[in-house]
Chains A and B, each alone.
Chain A
Amino acid sequence: AQSVTQLGSHVSVSEGALVLLRCNYSSSVPPYLFWYVQYPNQGLQLLLKYTTGATLVKGINGFEAEFKKSETSFHLTKPSAHMSDAAEYFCAVSDGRSYNTDKLIFGTGTRLQVFP
C-alpha cells in the first residue's frame, strides 16, 4: 500500500526566507509524486510532479522538489518566500503502473504562513 507523510502541519517563514515543506512516501512500486497547492476556499492546483527521469522537478511559482529514492522523500522548496505563497500544500503519491486507474493518496497537508 502507498502512503504519504507530511512532516509539520504548519510552517511559518519570513518573506524572502527559504521555504522547505517535507514529504516522505511509502510505495512498493516506483511512485508518481505530486505537490498541490490550495488557496483559501479554492480547489487544488498542481505545482509539480515527478514521474520518471530527472529527479529535480521544477514547478510553477518558483517551487521545485527533488525525488530522493534512498530517502523516500520528495521535499518541496522555494529559495525566497513571497506573501502570496501562503496556502496549504499537499503532497500526493500514485501508483504509476496502471495509468488508466491512477488513484491519488494524499498527505494531510502543510499550511504555510509567510510573515512580512
Chain B
Amino acid sequence: NAGVMQNPRHLVRRRGQEARLRCSPMKGHSHVYWYRQLPEEGLKFMVYLQKENIIDESGMPKERFSAEFPKEGPSILRIQQVVRGDSAAYFCASFASGGGTEAFFGQGTRLTVV
C-alpha cells in the first residue's frame, strides 16, 4: 500500500491557466479531504468528498475551484484561471470512514502561480 499519493508534487502555472491536482487515497478508503496551506499559515479545510459525492464544500472558494472524486480514479481538485493568491500547498487526506478513524495524508502539491 503506497499510502496517499498526490501529484504533481510541484506545479507552476501562469496566471489565467488551469491547475489540476490529483489525490489517490489509501486502498480501501472512500473518504477524501482537501486542505490548503497558504504560506506561513495553518491548514484550512476546503472540501470533503466520498466516492461520487461532495459531502461538504464549505471551505471552497465559490468561484474557479471545483473538486470531484469519481467512482474510479483519483480525486481531482481543479482551479480555473489561477491567480497569484492561489499559490499554496494543497494537501489531501483519506479516511476509511467519516469519523473516528485514522487520517492518512499525502505529501501535498505545491502550486506556484507566476
The answer to whether A and B assemble together is no
A residues at B contact (CB < 8 Å): none
